[in-house]
Chains A and B, each alone.
Chain A
Amino acid sequence: MMNTKRTEKIAFSALLVLTLLVIAPVVMIFAVLLIKGLPAITPEFIFSMPRDGMRAGGIFPAIVGTFYLALGTAVFSIPLGIMAAIYLNEYAAQNWLTRTIEIAIINLAGVPSIVYGLFGLGLFVSLFGVSILAGSLTLAIMTLPTIITATREALNAVPRSFREVSYSLGASRWQTVRNVVLPNAVPGIITGVILGLSRAAGETAPILFTVAAFYLPHLPQSVYDQAMALPYHIYVLSTQVPNVSSKIQYGTILVLVGMVFILNIIASYLRARFRRRKTW
């Protein structure tokens, strides 16, 4: 009898150690990023152009580029994703077409990011050139599964009885979706969208050949322009430019990770706030 109790104690201690082994690096990563990156964060760093082969100056064009790409991704993926989710949840019957669509979404979610880059190169770049437009479209298709899944969950969370009430009063299907289902799903949708966009903002492989510029002396003027972007800039600073100070490297990383982190916090906050204010 004592033996099994002791085994349990050992086992549980081992589990704790392993868990800490996983969690500790996460904490350390953030600590290191903050300690080494914070000194680089100055207004000049954020708002000015890179100088001296990117070894000095700021990262403003990369920040702007990332912002434009996120915007473009949002414009293309949000309406499409929400409507696709509405179709699957509120309109589609249980048939082979629906199952095919669901399989397609699972696959889009699993396609390697570099393959998206190839696809973007093969289609969008040949149509629009290496541009913000091509990059946004590529990122948008990549983000689509995330938005569809999050929206479907949000739609499912709306109680079935609301729909039944609406139909029983003689409302049509679209009226029911628009007036009863969607308004109550919006908070969940927003959370999913923010998380999806924050992931898109951090991606490098899809933008390598579709939009990313090694160095641009000016900000992009139109959607047909190339642009710099934070993830690609980090890659460049880490591997393509010799003698970059680690301060600049960590500073750039901190800006990107900071952006992603803040977006995640906003999403979590919205999710918690919505859960509290729910009246059903």
Chain B
Amino acid sequence: MNKRIEYIIEKAILLSGIASVVFVILIFIFLLKEGLSLFGTENFFSFISGKNWYPISDPPQFGILPLILGSVFVTFGAIVIAVPLGIAVAIYIAEVAPLRFRDILKSGIELLAAIPSVVLGFLGIVTLAPLLKHLFNLPSGLTALAGSTMLAFMALPTIVSIIEDSIVSVPRNYKEGSLALGATHWQTIYRVILPAASSGILAAVMLGIGRVIGETMAVLMITGNAAVMPTSLLQPVRTLTATIAAEMGETVGGSSHYFALFAIGIILFIISFIINLLADWFLHKK
């Protein structure tokens, strides 16, 4: 009797293990199911490279290049802000901060990670956007830069935590050897420790990119809503993620607009698949 129950439990455990693979496949299949229907009527190449996203015009145009560029601009801006900042904070926490502050600082950063993105989106609307509007004399502060800044903050906890881990796992004797040769702490940090932690930094960048590209609500709320080809960070843009969120509610199931949004989903899925695989590779490449 006992052996039979145990057998069932162990089978259930095995199935649960496989479940994750099943879910990834399922997600991909369902995205494909709806998304590929678009390419019955649209050309894949003009989808990817078309400069006009006019899904509700007649006839609709489904070029997602402005959306891709929107995501790229916002992501790029966010990484440019977050990576140097993240490295600086990670160094400070790992090597410079007095021990008693270390935990407080780490908790502070973790707290940032706990704030839901819709809340950060709201705060961006009421604080960041007016600030940018004022600073740069813009018609509206809802711009790619606002998105980049907010996303940089959202990505910082991930980036700081990974880089900090990498710094801490640099073997002590590297550091001690450098100091013994007369280098200052700071020289040791940028000459010895950071290079040794470089694969961790790369992994952090990759994971940061993944985090930022996939973000939806905050960008939806603060990057303006202009699905046009962006030329600078100081104008409204539309990302791939925000497009799905903003427009799905308006589509009719089974229309080509509906399929187009799923097709965008496929693109996002593939991008994040690649980025995460790369990040994992960097993390485990020691």
Contacts and interface: CB of A to CB of B under 8 A. Distances in A.
A and B touch in the complex (CB under 8 A): yes
B153 A264 contact: no
Contact of B30 (A19, A119, A260): A119
A114 B241 contact: yes
Contacts of B6: 172, 174-175
Contacts of B12: 83
Contact of B114 (A21, A121, A122, A264): A264
B56 interface: no
Interface stretch (A51-59, A197-205, A215-223): A197-205
Nearest to A260: B114
A111 interface: yes
B31 A23 contact: no
Interface residues of B, number: 74
Nearest to B97: A19
A239 B16 CA distance: 40
Given A26-B108, A105-B20, A106-B280, A208 B27 contact: no
Contacts of B248: 117-118, 121, 208-209
B96 A15 contact: yes
Contacts of A29: 115, 123
A267 B96 CA distance: 28
Interface residue SS majority, chain B: helix
A35 interface: no
B117 interface: yes
Contacts of A18: 85, 88-89, 92
A113 interface: yes
Interface string A110-154: 111111111101110000000000000000010011001000000
Interface of B: 6, 9-10, 12-14, 16-21, 23-24, 26-27, 30-31, 33-34, 85, 88-89, 91-93, 96-97, 105, 108-109, 111-112, 114-119, 121-123, 125-126, 153, 156, 160, 184-187, 210, 213-217, 221, 241, 244-245, 248-249, 261-262, 265, 268-269, 272-273, 275-277, 280
23 contacts: A8-B185, A11-B186, A19-B88, A22-B160, A29-B123, A84-B19, A92-B17, A97-B18, A105-B20, A110-B272, A114-B265, A115-B269, A118-B248, A119-B30, A144-B20, A144-B23, A198-B114, A205-B216, A208-B245, A208-B248, A235-B217, A238-B125, A257-B119
